[in-house]
Structure 1
Amino acid sequence: MNMRAMRFTAWQSFPTLEEIERPTPGPGEVLLKVAGAGACHSDVSIFSDFTAETAPGGMNAPFTLGHENSGWIEEVGPGVTGFEKGDAYLVYGPIGCGHCIPCTRGQDTYCQNVATQPYLGIGLGRDGGMAEYVVVPTRNLVALGDADPVAAAPLADAALTPYHAITLAQPVLAKGGATALVIGLGGLGQIAVQILKALTGATIIATDAKEDAMTRAAERGAITVGAGEDQAARIREITGGRGVDAIFDFVGVTPTIKLGQSVLAQGGRLTVVGIAGGEATWSFFTNPYEAVITNTYWGSIADLHEVVSMYQAGQITPDIERFTLDEAPEAYKRMQAGTLSARAVIVP
């Protein structure tokens, strides 16, 4: 039996919609009928930015794209029990070796044996969910219950990534008068505002160059500051001149990192989440005392269970725009052109 899938076939080559054989789940795996597959900027990097020399290991073409996936149980592999056909699940995308210390904690993103792994994850070297069906290890499934699985698909990255960064910053946020800054109000930034609102009592400041993105963030409880020469001064003013306790940069270019550093409070934490290759310059005399500049990548399986709990409770709602599988190429073209105002979700 065949199915259609959005395939990455060669470096610096636009993905193609192809007909391939429907996969069969092996031991410890299930076959999901895909409900939704989020289109992410990481996918664009895979097919447009990298070359064979610069790409991460384990990303060899061809494979099906889609690392933000949800779906319904269609079939179970040998020896698999406890899963009912038709039940909805969200998919944890990263797959590590399974036996190093980070992997045993469910932190497959920080697998110590990543260099020898055959792929980085589902939709990242291994066939992903931008297809009618996808095979997933049972360990990577998070039950959705009655929650809408289509709208849930982006949670696997666009919510998991900010959630992990925010929970690590909780020590500087768990106090009276705490402030947080979200730089970049795309899919991840919008959910970051919602997570901060639900989990902390911090004053949330948000900044972006797009007015409509700032309007949405303001509706979610953020104080917005537009781009401009006095951007840093306006942010500092909101904090009473003290600086921001926890900053989350979802862009990651040198100017946004520099902005974060310029408004960071003593003892604060600047987390660079956006993977744009920006660089930071540090000096003892310019870094606020005991302020930390760090980075995070995705999150753990345990984090994703907690993200789903927030989704089920109505605390986070991803902004999505639905596309059919036939429209998947158009979704990526609009993403490249910057004309998407929500997370594109492919609905096979």
Structure 2
Amino acid sequence: MKSYQLFNWQTRPRLVDVPQPTAGPNQVLVKVGGNGLCHSDLHAVDDLTCCPPHLDIELPLALGHEIAGWVEALGPGVQGLDIGQPCAITIAGCGQCVLCAQGWNNYCRSRGKQVGMGLGGGLSEYVVAPVSAIVPLRSLAPWQAAPLTDAGLSSYHAVKRVLPLLTPGSSVVVIGVGGLGHLAVAALKAICAARVIVTDQRPQALELAISMGADLAMLSGDTVAQQIIDATAGADVQAVLDFVGMNSSIQLARQVIRPLGHIVVVGRGGGSIDFSPHGLPHGACISSTFGGSKLELMELLALAEGGGIACHVERHPLSQVDAVFDKLRRNEILGRAVIVPDDH
């Protein structure tokens, strides 16, 4: 089968022919129907920030962790799935710890290697996944579902974190309307009554945000904090979702958040915050996230299958994956790029 594999750290992966994997005990072989490209893949290749040393990742390794497709084969011990069934792949927790018991498989401290993050990934024609990571699809095509497994799920999880604050009359700011941010806008408009304000440095990203339902769109710059304050009549905002994560975006969030508000930093832009009792308005908080839970993915997929949310997708064949990664490096992808088999 064809597989886009990383042979040496910080070198360009190559599309090569490798043997088709087989499903072991409690595993599922999935025929890949779509794999969303993520900046985390670039980090894994370019600067290793998505490859924790304790995982002892072995090369070569197929990249790709936003995966959906069809069940091709069941390993020993797997029940409840049918051959040919469409499915998505999510984060697998250990299944035994308190966090997993509470439904937070994404925060499991023993989750170990994941598909595309230490285990063979979805930039291949076939991939093996733990059965606990499989989420069945109904009407959604795999290429539509693939970017929801990470970009969509991370955005949806961030929205759910602040949802209790987003009552009628409230405002929420989305900083950065890229692959994740545009899905946060769609999720916000689908499940809450808050006014959605977005900011980005790219006019085309703001246009995409408006098409997803954003109420106000502002070019980022020195005056954007005051523009947001003016737009809310000086009342500030109940929540900020930061999909950039740089010092400048975190500072913007601090400038506009109200007392008892919540800033969620999803982006991995390398920014930081110096905590002090006066660093935020009284009662306000700032938090980080990692992905989302399996239950939240089920909710998100149901929302998408009902037409409540959709990802802006560019589809590209697996044979062109090198060129698409270069577009991602140059920040030329609007929405999400999804790699599909050459025969689709």
TM exceeds 0.5?
yes
AA partner of residue 174 (structure 2): V
Equivalence for 1:86:
84
Find the aligned partners of 2:309 and 2:49 in 1 and give their Cα distance. Answer: 36
Whether 2:210 is the aligned partner of 1:210: answer no
Structure 1 residue 49 displacement after superposition: 1.2
Does 2:158 correspond to 1:165? yes
Structure 2 counterpart of 1:307, which letter?
Answer: L
Residue in structure 2 matched with residue 277 of structure 1 by the alignment: 270
> 2:75 and 2:160 mapped to 1: Cα distance?
35
Distance 2:271 2:228 in 1: 21
Structure 1 285/231 Cα, relative in aligned 2: closer, same or farther at 3 Å? same
Distance in 2, matches of 1:97 and 1:10, equals: 29
Task: Go from structure 1 to structure 2 and tell me whether the alpha carbon gap of 1:17 and 1:305 turns closer, same or farther (over 3 Å shift).
Answer: same
Q: Does 2:327 correspond to 1:327?
A: no
Q: Distance in 2 between matches of 1:282 and 1:28?
A: 45
Q: Which position in structure 1 is the counterpart of 2:246?
A: 253
Query: How far is 1:80 from its partner?
Result: 2.1
Answer yes or no: is 1:105 the counterpart of 2:109: no
Question: Is the Cα contact below 8 Å between 1:172 and 1:246 reproduced in 2?
Answer: yes
Equivalent of 1:291 in 275, 284, 292:
284
Amino acid at match of 1:109: N
Among all aligned residue pairs of Structure 1 and Structure 2, give the percentage whose two residues are the same amino acid. Answer: 38
Question: Paired residue for 1:266?
Answer: 259
Deviates more, 1:302-311 or 1:42-51: 42-51
Q: Distance in 2 between matches of 1:60 and 1:100?
A: 26
The structure-2 alpha-carbon separation of the partners of 1:105 and 1:63, relative to structure 1 and needing over 3 Å to count, comes to farther
Residue 34 of structure 2 corresponds to 36
1:264 touches 1:270 (CA, 8 Å); kept in 2? yes
| Distance 1:202-1:51 versus aligned 2 partners, 3 A rule | closer
Question: d(CA) in 2 for partners of 1:323 and 1:41?
Answer: 17
Alignment of structure 1 residues 74-223 onto 2, 5 Å: 74-92=72-90, 94-113=91-110, 117=112, 119=113, 121-173=114-166, 175-222=167-214, 223=216
For 2:68, the equivalent position in structure 1 comes to 70
* Deviation at residue 79 of structure 1 after TM alignment: 2.8
Alignment correspondent of 2:229: 236
Mapping of residues 1-40 of structure 1, within 5 Å: 3-40=1-38
For these two proteins, the number of residue pairs brought into alignment is: 339
The one-letter amino acid paired with 1:220 is M
Q: Identify the match of residue 340 of structure 1 among 324, 328, 333.
A: 333
Asked if 2 retains the 8 angstrom alpha-carbon contact of 1:4 and 1:132, the reply is: yes
Residues 11 and 51, structure 1, Cα contact 8 Å, conserved in 2: no
Structure 1 residue 60, shift from structure 2 partner:
3.6
| Cα separation, 2, equivalents of 1:51 and 1:297 | 14
What is the letter of the counterpart of residue 190 of structure 2? Answer: A
Considering only aligned residues, what root-mean-square deviation do their CA atoms show, in Å?
1.6
Q: Distance in 2 between matches of 1:268 and 1:193?
A: 18
User: 1: CA distance between counterparts of 2:177 and 2:143?
Assistant: 22
Q: 5+ unaligned residues in a row in structure 1: which ranges?
A: none
Distance 1:81-1:156 versus aligned 2 partners, 3 A rule? same
The aligned counterpart of 2:54 is 57
Residues 1:161 and 1:56: Cα distance change in structure 2 (over 3 Å): farther
Q: Match for 1:324: what amino acid?
A: P
**Alpha-carbon distance in 1 for matches of 2:306, 2:105:** 26
Deviation at 1:4, TM superposition (A): 1.0
Flag the 1:335–1:7 CA change in 2: closer, same or farther, 3 A. Answer: same
Gap runs ≥5 in structure 2:
none
In the alignment, the residues of structure 2 paired with residue 265 and residue 317 of structure 1 have an alpha-carbon distance, to the nearest angstrom, of: 30
- Kindly state the Cα deviation for residue 96 of structure 1 after the two structures are TM-superposed: 3.1
CA deviation after TM superposition for structure 1 residue 56, in Å:
4.4
Task: Compute the TM-score of the two structures, normalised by the length of structure 2.
Answer: 0.95
Structure 1 residue 51: Cα displacement: 7.6
Alignment check: 8 A CA contact 2:182 2:335 kept? no
